[in-house]
Amino acid sequence: MKQRPVGSADAAAGQWTRRIRLRHLEVLQVIARHGSLTSAAAALGITQPAVSQWLADIEAAAGARLFERGQRLRPTPYAAPILAHAERVLHDAGRALAEVASIRAGGSGRVRVGTMSVAAASLVPEVVLRLRAQAPGIEVSLVEDIAVQLWGRFERHELDVLVTRLDARALGSGQPHRRLFADRHRVVCGPNHPLARRKRVAWRDAARYPWLMPTAGTPLYEALTATFAAAGVAPPQALITSVSATANVTLFTRTNALGVQSGALAAQMHERGTLVALPLTLAHDTGDVGLVWRDREAGAVLEAVLQAFVDASGGPSGA
């Protein structure tokens, strides 16, 4: 297929919007997933010639061959941006239908929130209770995970707003953001740990014990290793690399391992007597906690959720 010259981009965009329907994008995703017109046809419940025609329509509208034909279809360099567009459009369509269903059921909209554990324990429940009292029609769908997983879902348009650390990734994302509160990570251990009752603990002391380490390459891992380096101490031995809050608490209580948790979660665990927060502070930390969202999706419902977070965190706070 002859590719369109660059100068025809405006005409191509017009042709694309006139010819391409959601069904085209659904078929394209299935073709990419299966790598075969025959398998895609079986998955869609239509004939193979019909799938071929759908693909031909998409390629004609795009002005480029998206797959090299053969025993298995191989995507060309032109396929990636079209597939990314298909994913965004189909997610947005699904969200629109979900909001219509919510309104039909008496609600006023739905917002999908992804949060890190630093906010899940206290801030998020407060936000939910505020919205229930002030805007009961808003449906909040909540996902708790580590930052890298939340960002992946956010970029796939599976989440509308993130409650996350305002680190380099957040600040460099180009998306609007708003600070909520400061939270310093704390070093924690089990209540029977040899360091648990010491009023003074040095990083050299902490390095003598195994650690539950954050994932290598993450901002928290870099902050922790930089802190040991600043103290002139070699990084400690890792008992395990783990971001599982449940497993980590058990390991803290049954071993002499140390680790880091958000200040908010560490304070809760310390108050309950589950864990002990040691008198150690990271020389480098990973940023304040805040909100990140897509500006083009900031309608009245999302604005209400954002404001509830600001109010619950003791706002106002600037972007």
pLDDT digits (tens, 9 = 90+) for 69-115: 888 888 899 888 888 888 878 877 776 666 566 555 545 678 899 99
pLDDT band at 257 (very low <50, low <70, confident <90, very high): very high
> In CATH, which superfamily holds the domain spanning 107-182+288-312?
Periplasmic binding protein-like II (3.40.190.10)
The Cα 173–Cα 178 span in angstroms is 13
Q: Looking at the DSSP assignment, which residues form a beta bridge with residue 213?
A: 241
Q: What is the mean pLDDT of the chain?
A: 85
Angle at 240 between CA 239 and CA 241, to 5 degrees: 140
User: Is the pLDDT at 294 greater than 60, yes or no?
Assistant: yes
User: 287 CB contacts (<8 Å, ≥6 apart)?
Assistant: 165, 166, 167, 170, 171, 219
Q: What is the pLDDT of residue 298?
A: 56
Q: Do the first three CATH levels of 107-182+288-312 and 186-281 match, i.e. the same topology?
A: yes
Say which CATH topology domain 186-281 has. Answer: D-Maltodextrin-Binding Protein; domain 2 (3.40.190)
pLDDT band at 239 (very low <50, low <70, confident <90, very high): very high
6-87 CATH, one of 3.20.20.140, 1.10.10.10, 3.30.70.270, 1.10.1040.10: 1.10.10.10
User: Is the pLDDT at 7 greater than 50, yes or no?
Assistant: no
Amino acid letter, 33? R
How does pLDDT run across 36-59, given as a tens digit for each residue? Answer: 899 989 998 999 999 899 899 888
User: 22 CB contacts (<8 Å, ≥6 apart)?
Assistant: 89, 90, 93
